[in-house]
Each structure stands twice: as structure tokens, then as C-alpha cells.
Amino acid sequence: MIRCRNFFLVAALALTAPLAASAQVQVDENLPSYKPVQGVNGNISSMGSDTMNNLMTLWAEGFQKFYPGVTIEIEGKGSSTAPAALTKGTATFGPMSRPMKEDEIDAFEKAYGYKPTQLGTSIDMLAVFVHKDNPIKGLSLEQLDAVFSSTRKGGGKADITTWGQLGLEGAWANRAISLYGRNSASGTYGYFKENALFKGDYKTSVKEQPGSSAVIQGVANDQAGIGYSGIGYKTAAVRVVPLSKTGTDYVEPSMETVSSYPLSRFLYLSVNHKPGSQLDPLRLEFIKYIFSKEGQEAVVKDGYLPLNAKVATRQLEMILKK
């Protein structure tokens, strides 16, 4: 049963990029197929990232085909809920769309005497979305910061509040920009603040949404809207805006551009693993499933980018007994 309530990234990107096919993402043929073992049963609880909610569900469904007696509960209220749940022991896994913060790691280490383990499971490209009829060609990070931030630490000289300030003409010129974003519990909120707003502050006019789907729905229903979420939430009702670090060399998020797109990130799975110890069969096999051919096929199905066999092996080595 599934119940759904709702440092080497650069190297990994470089290793993953060659896996692209011209029109369709393919998983690395060197990834092993998952092989079930005996003695796996019990309950799995997942608390954390809304961005990874669908992905956790796909992994759970695939895992249960091998182990139908396993019960899995998934709750996605934001990445900030994962560290506390792991520390308190109320969750088996903590999916996160950002790395843990120092204070979150410290709290866990104080409770257990060792640090939590964060496994990079897949790669997301955090995308900026506009209404499907919006003709904007692209945005630099400086412009994006001036659109969403009140502090403009990206170097923008003026606050950007209309589409005309971004070069749109005609009926768009005086149209006020309508902002959609995630709430502060979200890892996506924190990642966007860190990397797109240069650690600055959001404008108070940003309409904070409880989930990524709500951001997309808001933009889809608002012709003047702009918002951000993981690329996996893209629908036909919105357009992805190509981005550049500076200037007008815009990059659209795709497998081919994963190493050059300015807002690429790992999606993590956090786990309580004492170094040198052996994980119990249930947790170990679920993790092995994620890094298998089937697990990475689920990554592609959900719209994210898979790891190749070399990177997947490195992640698995973090929880294998040494």
C-alpha cells in the first residue's frame, strides 16, 4: 500500500550529460537491473520534498512489484520537514531538493553521534515558467533576481515589475508581472533564493504556493504570471523560459544542456546510516532499487535526469558497509 498525502554535482553533471539521446533521455545501459532478495518486509515512511513526491511514489510502486507485502507511506510537505523527521525517527527516508543545512546536520549529529547520509538520486533542472502565450525569449539571472527579489543582489539597477521592462511590446508592455513561488518549507524555495536571488530576499508580492503543481497551475491560469519549480512539473499550459548566467546566451533546460544550465541540482534521499554499519534489508534494498536500471527509468518517467552507472555506484558506496 502507498499512501500519498502530499560537491560533486559538477562532476556528476559532466558524467551524466553524454547519456542523452537526441530526442529522448535514455538510462545508462551499464546500470544493473534490480534483483530481489529474500526477507524484505515491513513499513517505509517518507517525509520531505514536495518536488520529489511523484518520484518517491514511482519508486515505491516499482519496489512493491518485487515486495508486495511492504507498506510505504509518502508525505511531501517540503524539504525542511525531512531533517527533523529523520532526527526524531519518524521517517525512514527524507527526500530533499537541496542539501541539508549546517544546523540540520548538527541537530542530527547531536542526537546520534554521526552525520546523516544524503544520497544524490537524480538531477533536476529548476525551471522558470511563464504562461504558454508569453513571448519572452529568455532571462539572465540578474533580470530574474530583479523580478523576484526586493534586494537585487544580482546587480540589477532597477526593480522589474512589468513585462515591458524585459523587452516585451504591445499589449505586454505595461502588463504587471505576477509572481508565483514556493513556501519557505520548500527546498526549491531555498535553492531559488540561494542561486537565483543571490541569497537575497523575496518580494512580498510573491504568491507562495504549497506545492510545485500549484505554482504551475497559478502560472497557467495567469497570462502575466511567472513562477519556478522542478522541470518535472512542466505541462502544456506553460512555457519554460531559457536562462543565462549573464547576457543573452540563453540555455533551455534539457539533457543536452545539463552541465551549462545555471539552475541544475541534485535531488537527494536522506537516510540515517551509521558509518561502518549494515543497513537493514528493507532500507538497503529500497536504496539499491533507486540506483538500479528500473529506479533510474522512473527518474526519466517523472521528467528528471538519470544518473549514469559510475555516479550511481558512488552513491551506493556511501551506505555499503566498509
- In this predicted model, what pLDDT tens digit does every residue of 29-55 receive, in sequence order? 999 999 999 999 999 999 999 999 999
DSSP codes of every residue in 61-118: HHHHHH-TT-EEEEEES-TTHHHHHHHHT--SBEEESSPPPHHHHHHHHHHHSSPPEE
Q: How many CB atoms lie within 10 A of CB 184?
A: 12
What does the pLDDT look like over 90-141, one tens digit per residue? Answer: 999 999 999 999 999 999 999 999 999 999 999 999 999 999 999 999 999 9
The Cα 138–Cα 223 span in angstroms is 17
pLDDT at residue 16 in the model = 47
Judge residue 21's burial from the number of C-beta atoms within 10 Å of its C-beta, 0-12 exposed, 13-18 middle, 19 or more buried: exposed
pLDDT at residue 19 in the model = 36
What is the end-to-end Cα distance of the chain in Å, rounded? Answer: 33
Q: Going edge to edge, which strands form the sheet with 2-4?
A: 2-4, 71-76, 43-48
pTM of the model: 0.81
Retrieve residue 132's grid coordinates.
504558454
Q: Does residue 7 have a pLDDT over 80?
A: no
Distances in whole angstroms, Cα of residue 214 to Cα of each of 180, 199, 217, 233, 322: 9, 24, 5, 10, 44
Contacts of 232 (CB under 8 A, 6+ apart): 51, 54, 55, 124, 302, 303, 304
Nearest CA among 257, 227, 261 for reference residue 244:
261
What does the pLDDT look like over 134-185, one tens digit per residue? Answer: 999 999 999 999 999 999 999 999 999 999 999 999 999 999 999 999 999 8
The Cα 85–Cα 35 span in angstroms is 30
Retrieve residue 42's grid coordinates.
515491513
